[in-house]
């Protein structure tokens, strides 16, 4: 349910909904199962220049750089 909600919120145009969706990805970032999909989702947000969305993307990328559990 959390994964589906994250994808749903990332697809929304609102800054805070999109940020919420990205923050939800932190739950999955240290698991190998979703890494490729997370990278794809983050790449789809590359053009979003809003500060708080970019900040959330940075958080997830930082978690992706950590060793897998």
pLDDT at 67 over 90: no
- Per-residue model confidence (pLDDT) at position 31: 87
Report yes or no: 45 and 18 within 8 Å, Cβ to Cβ: yes
DSSP per position, 19-64: HHHHHHGGGTTTSGGGHHHHHHHHHHTTT---HHHHHHHHHHHHHH
- Per-residue model confidence (pLDDT) at position 43: 96
Q: Of 40, 59, 64, 50, give the one whose Cα is nearest residue 13.
A: 50
4-30 pLDDT, tens per residue?
999 999 999 999 999 999 999 999 998
38-62 pLDDT, tens per residue?
999 999 999 999 999 999 999 999 9
**If pLDDT is split at 50, 70 and 90, which confidence band does 34 have?**
very high
Number of C-alpha atoms within 13 angstroms, CB side, residue 55? 7
């Amino acid at each position: 349910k959390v994964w589906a909600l994250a994808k749903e919120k990332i697809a929304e145009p609102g800054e805070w909904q999109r940020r919420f969706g990205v923050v939800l990805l932190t739950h999955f970032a240290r698991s190998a199962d979703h890494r490729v999909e997370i990278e794809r989702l983050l790449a789809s947000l590359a053009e979003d220049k809003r500060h708080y969305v970019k900040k959330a993307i940075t958080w997830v990328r930082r978690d992706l750089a950590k060793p897998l559990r």
